[in-house]
Amino acid sequence: MASWVIISECGLRPLPKIYRKPRTGQCFLKCSLSNLNTQRTNFGNSFPSCLFNEINTNKERSWGLKVSAPLRVPHIEEEIKELERAIGEDFFDPASPPPFKLSDIKNAIPKHCWVKDPWKSMSFVVRDVAVVLGLAAAAAYFNNWVMWPLYWFAQGTMFWALFVLGHDCGHGSFSNNHKLNSVVGHLLHSSILVPYHGWRISHRTHHQNHGHVENDESWHPLTEKTYKNLDIVTKKLRFTLPFPMLAYPVYLWSRSPGKSGSHFDPKSDLFVPNEKKDVITSTICWTAMIGLLAGLSFIMGPVQLLKLYGVPYLGFVVWLDLVTYLHHHGHEDKLPWYRGKEWSYLRGGLTTLDRDYGWINNIHHDIGTHVIHHLFPQIPHYNLIEATEAAKPVLGKYYREPKKSGPLPFHLLGVLLESMRTDHYVSDTGDILYYQTDPQASKNRKSL
């Protein structure tokens, strides 16, 4: 490609080189276009004004140039188009407004994917409850330290599976019967110490505001000001593993840094006045489960209860925090967060991520198929894979294919570690934001 030149009183000055691939992703494109637009502002759509001055004041001056480049300067608009063509398909800005609407995605999904079958949903409940009881009975029968670690991992995973089914009840994707959803949701969630309505309402807030810096409810970014005002202990607990993976019980009681309220308090700003009875009902069910566990500790002893229920409960908490975090963090390319007019339900939903969990996919009801679930939480979990495949042609590059997992998703541990190391806060200003890294925190980790 020939190198265009700009003629000035000082001689020849080349335009910035056009690279076939962007050196720094979207920053390169934006900076290059910004430079070209600056030239367009300064020079208009023709030659620089200094050139016209030379022509007008010294018509006899020789303008012969011994250069191989052609003696012309293209319009700035043409240069911008040439730069975009040179970058071509290698460049994609995930923050750019998508060329499709939410209705386009919805229309691509087969109608039968929206149908809720309560019998099929209940069959998953029966399956999971049977496995939970079977595992507990087997562990109590063998009662040896070879079996216990296997039991803790398996039962913690099954508690997480129960949570996902209760989560479907909260979304109304379990069935069209509100009472059935509420009864099943309370039984499943209370059994693993989750206040059904309290969490259901806050999770609804998360879905309605996904990708919004201030309004999102689950694993939303800290602003720089909030981050820098955290005490050292809180920073350590928030960004040093394994502590963030044990955060869910704390979140239920006091939410995330920068926010206040409790999932058990009907007066919390999480809820509106007409939701007070629902929150009280769920808190009573949660309290009843605490009472049941206390009674069991007297019957079988606190150590046995800890082994049968306490450790698996912690395993469930780890699964919940791991999965929910990685659905919104840790992609190899930085994904945007929004505020103000840049945010929309569609753009926020398109920043969520699908994850592959290997053998766990079926056990935890394909919750890793998360993008379509976030956009359309009414779709039952057993139809999410088909719905996602149907929507991919519409989503295009806005859908990020998950990395294939082995039987167990060990590859996600590296993703989690890297995200905790680099994703600390976002700017206090601006409407399209990306995670920034606290250099002091990174320095401290390297010194350890």
Confidence (pLDDT) at 404: 95
pLDDT at 86 (0 to 100): 54
Residue 345 lies in a domain: yes
Q: Tell me, yes or no, whether 297 and 421 share the same domain.
A: yes
Can you tell me whether residue 30 is helix, strand or coil?
helix
| 8 Å CB contact between 245 and 321 | yes
**Cβ(214)–Cβ(389) below 8 Å:** no
Asked which of 30, 65, 90 is the last residue of a domain, the reply is: 90
33-42 burial, b at 16+ Cβ within 10 Å, e below that, comes to: eeebeebeee
The confidence score (pLDDT) of residue 85 equals: 58
Residue 99 in any domain: the answer is: no
The count of other CB atoms within 10 Å of the CB of residue 448 is: 5
DSSP per-residue codes, 349-377: HTT------TTHHHHTTTTT-HHHHHH-T
Residues 78 and 204 in one domain: no
DSSP state of 172: T
Q: Which two tokens stand for residue 428?
A: 């206090």
The secondary structure element, H or E, covering residue 171 is helix 147-171
- Same domain (yes/no): 86, 201: no
Domain region containing 363:
105-447
Q: Are 59 and 190 found together in one domain?
A: no
Domain end among 30, 59, 90: 90
431: in domain? yes
CA distance 144 to 404: 35
In a domain, 100, yes or no: no
CA dihedral 213→361→185→375, nearest 10 degrees, is 40
Residue 91 pLDDT: 75
Tokens of 50: 């200094």
The answer to whether residue 295 is domain-embedded is yes
- pLDDT confidence of residue 338: 97
From CA 113, how far away is CA 92, in angstroms rounded?
A: 30
What per-residue string of b and e applies to 330-341 under the rule 16 or more CB within 10 Å gives b? beeebbbbbbee
Q: Could you say which of 56, 90, 124 is where a domain stops?
A: 90
Number of domains in the chain: 2
Residues 25 and 145 in one domain: no
Q: Which of 218, 185, 171 is nearest to 379 (CA)?
A: 171
User: Domain check: are 184 and 295 in the same one?
Assistant: yes
Residue 95 lies in a domain: no
Same-domain status, 16 and 139? no
Same domain, 74 and 170: no
Backbone angles phi, psi at 426, to 5 degrees: -120, 165
Q: Is residue 14 domain-shared with residue 63, that is, in the same domain?
A: yes
User: What is the rounded CA–CA span in Å between residue 50 and residue 43?
Assistant: 9
Helix, strand or coil for residue 426?
strand
The Cα 395–Cα 410 span in angstroms is 28
> Is residue 329 located within the same domain as residue 389?
yes
Q: In terms of domains, do 149 and 186 share one? A: yes
- Give residue 446's pLDDT: 54
* Same domain assignment for residues 232 and 109: yes
Can you give the pLDDT of all 448 residues of the chain as single tens digits? 444 444 343 444 444 444 334 334 444 444 444 343 333 333 333 333 333 333 344 444 444 444 444 444 455 556 555 655 555 556 789 999 999 999 999 999 999 999 999 999 999 999 999 999 999 999 999 999 999 999 999 999 999 999 999 999 999 999 999 999 999 999 999 999 999 999 999 999 999 999 999 999 988 899 999 999 999 999 999 999 999 999 999 999 998 877 888 999 999 989 999 999 999 999 999 999 999 999 999 999 999 999 999 999 999 999 999 999 999 999 988 899 999 999 999 999 999 999 999 999 999 999 999 999 999 999 999 999 999 999 999 999 999 999 999 999 999 999 999 999 999 999 999 999 999 999 887 565 554 4
How far apart CA 182 and CA 169 sit, in angstroms, is 7
Query: Residue 327 falls within a domain, yes or no?
Result: yes
Angle between helices 178-191 and 196-208 (to 10 degrees): 110
Radius of gyration of the chain (CA): 28
